[in-house]
Amino acid sequence: MDPEECWKSLEDKILAGNIAMDMGRVRAAYEYAVKLHEGQKRRDGSPYVTHCVATAEIIAEQGLDEDSIVSALLHDVIEDTPATHDDVKRQFGATVADIVEGVTKLTRVQYTSHEEEQAENLRKMLIAMAKDIRVILIKIADRLHNMRTMDYQSGEKQLIKSAETMEIYAPIAHRLGMQKIKWELEDRSLYYLDREGYKEITDALSTRMDTLRVFMDKVEKQIQKRMDDEGIDATVYGRIKHIYSIYRKMFAQQLDINGIFDLCAFRVIVDSIPDCYNALGMIHDMYKPVPGRFKDYVSTPKPNGYQSVHTTVIGSEGIPFEVQIRTWDMHLTAEYGVAAHWKYKSGEQGVKEGDEEKFAWVRRLLEAQQETDATEFVHDLKIDMFADEVFVFTPSGDVINLPAGATPIDFAYAIHSGVGNAMVGASVNGRIVTFDHVLQNGDIVEVRTSKSAPGPSRDWLQLAKSSSARTKIKQWFKKEKREENVQRGREMFDAELRRNGLTMADVMDEDVLPHILKKLSVPSMDELYAAIGYGGQTAVRSVNRVKDELAHIKRPEKKTVLDKINEQAEKRVSRPQKAVHGILVEGLDNCLIKFSKCCTPVPGDDIVGFITRGNGVSIHRTDCQNYLRQRLSTGADGRWIEVSWADHTTDLYITTLRILAKERSGLIMDIATALNALNAKVRSLSARDVGNDQSTAAVTVEVRDLAELKVIINRLAAIRGVIEVRRASS
């Protein structure tokens, strides 16, 4: 697409929305983006600016304002071009510059792990979002277009970005009420995470499409006629449920596609709230309602502002289907979410007065990240946004919204931290329950408190489901139990050191300690112990960072005169052997090294070398079937030689795992999600049916050593339905 066609496409989208704006300023932003991104290409070969325009078009489709569209056009200029915040501010004003800065990732900072980088970028984005909601709207539009063009990325990047989209961006879109975009993000992510499951559903829908359309047309006409006869002005239409919602139902209920009957849903849009309930009565009169499937989100809206009355009924053909009844205002909110309410006028930003509660989850997450490490923050973010919700009541009738699986502990801290800290008992629907009791929709929960309560137990950190409750519990321990925290944390840290073959003396060495404190960002070891003690930091993560730092610290060697004499003598009679790809070959330097594809050895494996004819030395594991067979057939003919791993290597090594599992939908997605959670470097992932209700998957990864590989194997082995995980060997 040439520059003028690109501009015309955006202009048409803006004009279609009837949004008053200075098109000259938008054009100037477009030309500025073209100039700055000149020479940059997308993976498909198109000019990079086409991505900026596509992002701006998505923003225009949401009906947002001039600053939003200008910011969308410029959203990558600070990150990917020489432009600075001040440059953008001079050209397009402070508001646009701040939005673009908010969208920009923290790419100039070095992190020790992917979790840290992801956590810091998310934290920065949430802070910017709390100031101006347009930051996250542009970020979601940016991700949506990237998912639409994901075919051109590598297989590894497709898996990583799709898992991140499913776990982070789709839930944020849900939290903001942007259902249409959420559905597209989920469906596109599923396509890359589980292509077989995706294809199974699309193929089934394709074969049933004619039947479904006939059914939907019939039901639409029946409901529309009844509304017209009763004098209710209503718009009725049906839709096929989106692919990921069908996929989740198959996964949750362990059904194949033939076991899913309610593939259709219908919407009835009316003019007023009384009409919602009148329409509900008529639909229940026309069709048989399914018990337990009625939900009233009109009187009790979801936290993201969503309102509708939901009911599931059974038609004359015996086919169940869902009906959602809402007003036009509710429909606008359901389709576009926050964008429907935050249409900006010049100079306005932030959140409208009275709507702060819709963004309380952002505030809670930002508070939580101050008391947790990076890994836990990202984990909490995923849970808080993606978990289903339960609605429970206080004895006075107030509604409390909690994540599914919440306990009385979550309820108490949702009321107030003082209530949680003083809790000594709880009852649900008049019956005394334990603190691990899982709350259900509609429960009436009462908490008993005492001024002499000892405070929360550390076990509560495992029982609480919400990050908000866990944060408040940690804050109590941090404030009230410092000495106990220090003692407990020291013991946990010492035990973890010993598990890793280290001692306190290794850390407390005067040449080492300053480096360790800097690495852990703590002023003293007591501060670290306290953080581990109250749960703000983990001993495992701390020791891993200590090990990483110890590997890089050059300690001054304290040598005796005899040491120096011996060292000089050794230098005269020998020279250090050079490692090639982390391999030392006895008696040879700089020889060609090849790692056998039959057994893919990694550092930590017992290995042996085979001198090939013209291809250097081939490295095998000593348990490799090829090695064992050739050893038996050729005997000790001198071509098998001793090799060893170098003490330190920074190389990554490719190895393949074979996974045998019970055949089920969602297997590939679970494998991909598990690998992404470990930040594994995936080269390829495939699966096939092997009969007997079993599937086999092959995953090729890059690892540093055997220890890292074992972590991956153990994580994959824990996936539901997995029978065996083994390394490839011939």
- The residues, any chain, with a CB within 8 Å of residue 195's CB and separated by 6 or more, are 668
Q: Which of 574, 500, 570, 510 is nearest to 542 (CA)?
A: 500
**Helix 3-16, helix 23-36: angle, nearest 10:** 140
Do 91 and 74 form a contact (C-beta atoms < 8 A)? no
| pLDDT for residue 379 | 56
- Which stretches of the chain score pLDDT less than 50? 106-112, 343-356, 386, 560-562, 564-565, 568-569, 571-576, 636
pTM of the model: 0.59
Structure tokens at 336: 């576009």
Residue from 11, 31, 61, 80 carrying the catalytic annotation: 80
**R_g (Cα) of the chain, nearest Å:** 30
Q: What is the pLDDT of residue 409?
A: 94
Catalytic annotation present for 80: yes
Report the distance separating Cα 421 and Cα 316, nearest Å. Answer: 55
* Full set of structural domains in the chain with CATH: 3-148 (1.10.3210.10), 196-340 (3.30.460.10), 387-479 (3.10.20.30), 481-552 (no CATH), 561-645 (no CATH), 653-727 (3.30.70.260)
Q: What is the structure's pLDDT at 362?
A: 59
Torsion sign (Cα): 23, 25, 27, 33? negative
What is the structure's pLDDT at 377?
A: 57
79 is catalytic: yes
Task: Please state, in angstroms and rounded to a whole number, the distance separating the CA atoms of residues 193 and 300.
Answer: 35
Cα–Cα dist 407/201, whole Å: 36
pLDDT computed for residue 353 by the predictor: 41
With the CA atoms of 385, 390, 393 and 399 taken in that order, what torsion angle do they form, in degrees rounded to the nearest 10? 40
Give the integer Cα–Cα distance in Å for 611 and 467: 57
Q: Which residue among the candidates 31, 79, 355, 527 is catalytic per the annotation? A: 79
Q: With both helix axes pointing from N to C terminus, report the angle between 539-552 and 482-499 in degrees, rounded to the nearest 10.
A: 60
Res 636: pLDDT: 46
Which token pair is 198? 């995706």
pLDDT, tens digit, 9 for 90 and up, residues 381-427 = 555 554 567 778 888 877 787 887 899 999 999 888 889 989 999 99
68-122 confidence digits (pLDDT tens): 999 999 999 998 899 999 999 999 999 999 899 888 764 444 444 555 566 666 6
pLDDT score at 580: 59
Q: Determine how many CB atoms are found less than 10 A away from the CB of residue 209.
A: 11
**Cα(660)–Cα(724) distance, integer angstroms:** 5
| Euclidean distance between CA atoms 56 and 23, whole angstroms | 13
pLDDT digits (tens, 9 = 90+) for 234-291: 999 998 889 998 888 776 566 666 666 678 899 999 999 999 999 999 999 999 998 8
What is d(CA 76, CA 104) in angstroms, rounded to the nearest whole number?
Answer: 7
**What span, in angstroms and rounded, lies between the C-alpha atoms of 78 and 97?**
9
Q: Where are the alpha helices (DSSP H) in 40-103?
A: 49-61, 66-73, 77-80, 85-92, 94-103
pLDDT at 346: 36
